[in-house]
Structure 1
Amino acid sequence: MALIPPYTPPDFSAEPLASAPVITTEKAPADGVAPDEFHATSNHPEYVHVAPGTWVLLRKNRMDTVIRMDGETPEAVEARRLKKGDWVVVGRGEEGEKGVYIHTDGFEQKEGPSKKFAFMTRGSRETPFSRSYDHLYDILRHEKKEGFITWVLGPAVAFDKDSRDAMAGIIREGYCHALMAGNALATHDMEAGVYGTGLGQDIYTRELKPLGHYHHLDLLNKVRRTGSIPAALEGLGITDGIMHACETCGVPYVLAGSIRDDGPLPEVETHTGRAQDRMRVFAAQATCVITLATQLHTIAFGNMTPSYRVLDDGTVRPVFFYVVDISEFSADKLANRGSAQSTAILTNVQDFMINLANNLIP
């Protein structure tokens, strides 16, 4: 199987697409409001029949948006971004019958004859993942130079010394072009940099430190006093870890807040709409996404990320999406929310990160 599988577009000369109607549009009745019967997008390649015989592929598609037309140029936008009078595609069809065609098998490759009966057809904790790892190593080596690798991290990555070191090494080696996380990941990573603990537990020996439950709160207070993560890294003498690697390597990050956050850190975006907007900038660039032990952030970023990218030269390629979690439920949850293209690796994130570091870092 090719590392980057080729894309086969639809045959618009064949029926039913050959005789499909062009789209119908209606004006948005008010700011942030779509017309009735608006078409809602998927994360698959979607073609819009803008004029007889002219089908246009949405370049930056994503799930649950509407299609706004600028002349004959379609654009996927959130309904909240609409302005009164914007022309919006209406009609709820996916096979061209309303002028929109969702193409789901453009990247399909045959891997031999299908079986009428077989065991081990669904991923589980018993699934062998050796091939998944090997393929991921190859993908990351390719995407380091040719693509855009986005990581979505839960705090568990920073709770183990070797895992934290491995992720920092992955960033320094150029295998991370953007990082998405919450307040907890950055807080506990910097807690480890100052106190050597995560939630008061030594990240190597697992020893519970006296009054260790104050450590992350003290860390938050210190960072908020300095005013920013970069200032705190310097002022507190933090010279290792994930946030230090991001800052020293110029890797952008988005920290999206939640209602349960302590602090939070100064860089945490507590407005959900603005956090969405900032994350979508990187979802639109991503060619490979790796999410680690963070169910809500995984689903959020997965829903923002299309299954394909249209490159500057017009080439259409897949977006690789990996969900790494020890829970089968968490891995299945993303697929059940529409991101069926995701690949699950069921393991704890510490082992996963160390495997990657051992194979990718010289």
Structure 2
Amino acid sequence: MSFRLPQFNPPNFDGEPFTGAPNATLVEVLQDGVAPDHFHGMSIYPEYFKVNGQWVLASQSRMDGVPVLMEDGTIQILEFRNLKKGHKVVVGRTEDASEGIYVYAEGFASKDSNEDIFAFRSGRSRETAYSKDYNHLYDVLRHEKDQGYVVWVLGPATVFDYDSRIALAALIEKGYVHAILAGNAMATHDLEAGILGTALGQNTYTQESQPNGHYNHLDVINMARKAGSLEKLIKTLNLTEGVVYAALKKNIPLVLAGSIRDDGPLPTVWANVYEAQDEMRKQTKKATTLICLATQLHTIASGNMTPAYTERNGQLRPIYIYAVDVAEFALNKLRDRGSLEVTTIVANVQDFLVNVNNNLI
């Protein structure tokens, strides 16, 4: 059976409590960057706001953002820092339509009434069998390759191993990657592997530490800074493989967000955290699938910026979120932060990448 996206089942606004609900209350922003008291904070689910008697969907969202009624009648979701004096913000903290605000979490829910309320092993742990999840992911990626926008969130462990690094570069070449969100470390160690055959001084295939290998990533950062850009470094050294090489060759957005611990960093790393967040959000706004590998902080950040749905071609569809880590704690942390619509897979990311690449043409 060919893959089909779940159909969105919208609320029926023709009856109560919707017809008798008041319009949402709007309060103007009086100071840039400061929301009115009792502002409404967004969830990951579709939310509707009653404006002039009509229920308006915020077609793009992010958790904890603030809903603003724009002059064109749309509801835009902004961070506090992007609020401007005169913006009309929705206030109210109920979700049941009683204040003209309705949070709708059931739009993509299955209508199958045969599922048991109680079942063993309904959680996800190292004892979970993930075969079904892998097969679903393959189907999703085949669909998304040409009809979606797949954003990969990468920790440095994805490029520590020779086979996983080659597998990820192959997935980029095949068209299953539309944007990459990462930090200085992932790009640094990918380039280190391409130039010196090591990651953090260890051979990426044998895992043997090399003499003075702890200098390798620093030398690569210095080379890149001397070259002035990643493109110039690749051209100067005639690099022809790797994740960074493949991404730049395919003109795939490579958003590298800086952190306090960064060495160097590489050119193109966003040093200002809010500028980095803005660049990341440009990609999560377009995302239809998000795949997060072995990076707890980037995963939580990206997950919090990505709602459970998006609008494509005038229709709502789910956003698929996958998070893969060898540690259950890191995956549970994402779910605890409110990103509930996520498939978690407890696995070594090196094995995960090789499996995915081997099963996709």
TM-score for both structures, normalised by structure 2: 0.97
User: What amino acid sits opposite 2:347 in the alignment?
Assistant: T
| SS of 1:150 mapped into structure 2 | strand
Cα drift, residue 116 of structure 1: 4.6
In the TM superposition, 1:180-259 aligns within 5 A as 180-259=181-260
Partner of residue 335, structure 1: 335
- 1:102 and 2:103 aligned: yes
Cα drift, residue 237 of structure 1: 2.4
User: What amino acid sits opposite 2:156 in the alignment?
Assistant: P
Q: CA offsets per residue over residues 50-93 of structure 1, 9 Å max, x none?
A: 112x1111011111111111243211111111111211111111
Partner of residue 346, structure 2: 346
| SS of 2:333 mapped into structure 1 | helix
Cα drift, residue 351 of structure 1: 0.4
| SS of 1:284 mapped into structure 2 | helix
More moved, 135-144 vs 229-238: 229-238
| SS of 2:107 mapped into structure 1 | coil
Q: CA offsets per residue over residues 170-216 of structure 1, 9 Å max, x none?
A: 00000000000000000000000011000000000111100000000
Partner of residue 323, structure 1: 323
Percent identity (aligned): 51
More moved, 6-15 vs 217-226: 6-15
Separation of aligned partners in 2, 1:141 and 1:244:
23
In the TM superposition, 1:1-362 aligns within 5 A as 3-52=4-53, 54-71=54-71, 72-111=73-112, 113-312=114-313, 314-361=314-361
Q: CA offsets per residue over residues 20-73 of structure 1, 9 Å max, x none?
A: 111111111101111100111111101110112x11110111111111112432
Cα drift, residue 112 of structure 1: 5.4
| SS of 1:322 mapped into structure 2 | strand
Unpaired segments of 5 or more residues in structure 2? none
User: What amino acid sits opposite 2:77 in the alignment?
Assistant: A
More moved, 211-220 vs 330-339: 330-339
Separation of aligned partners in 1, 2:297 and 2:252:
23
Over 6 Å off, 4+ runs: none
| Residues 1:70 and 1:116: Cα distance change in structure 2 (over 3 Å) | closer
Cα drift, residue 110 of structure 1: 3.9
| SS of 1:180 mapped into structure 2 | strand
| SS of 1:232 mapped into structure 2 | helix
Separation of aligned partners in 2, 1:184 and 1:76:
31
User: What amino acid sits opposite 2:25 in the alignment?
Assistant: T
Separation of aligned partners in 1, 2:208 and 2:256:
29
| SS of 2:49 mapped into structure 1 | strand
Separation of aligned partners in 2, 1:253 and 1:209:
29
Cα drift, residue 292 of structure 1: 0.2
User: What amino acid sits opposite 1:69 in the alignment?
Assistant: L
Cα drift, residue 119 of structure 1: 1.3
| Residues 1:55 and 1:116: Cα distance change in structure 2 (over 3 Å) | closer
Separation of aligned partners in 2, 1:133 and 1:74:
36
Aligned residue pairs, count: 359
| SS of 2:359 mapped into structure 1 | helix
Cα drift, residue 14 of structure 1: 2.5
Cα drift, residue 254 of structure 1: 0.3
| Residues 1:6 and 1:247: Cα distance change in structure 2 (over 3 Å) | same
Separation of aligned partners in 1, 2:215 and 2:82:
42
| SS of 1:310 mapped into structure 2 | strand
User: What amino acid sits opposite 2:191 in the alignment?
Assistant: M
User: What amino acid sits opposite 1:340 in the alignment?
Assistant: L
Unpaired segments of 5 or more residues in structure 1? none
Separation of aligned partners in 2, 1:103 and 1:182:
34
Separation of aligned partners in 2, 1:116 and 1:141:
32
Q: CA offsets per residue over residues 291-315 of structure 1, 9 Å max, x none?
A: 0000000000001111111113x21
TM-score for both structures, normalised by structure 1: 0.97
Separation of aligned partners in 1, 2:163 and 2:4:
29
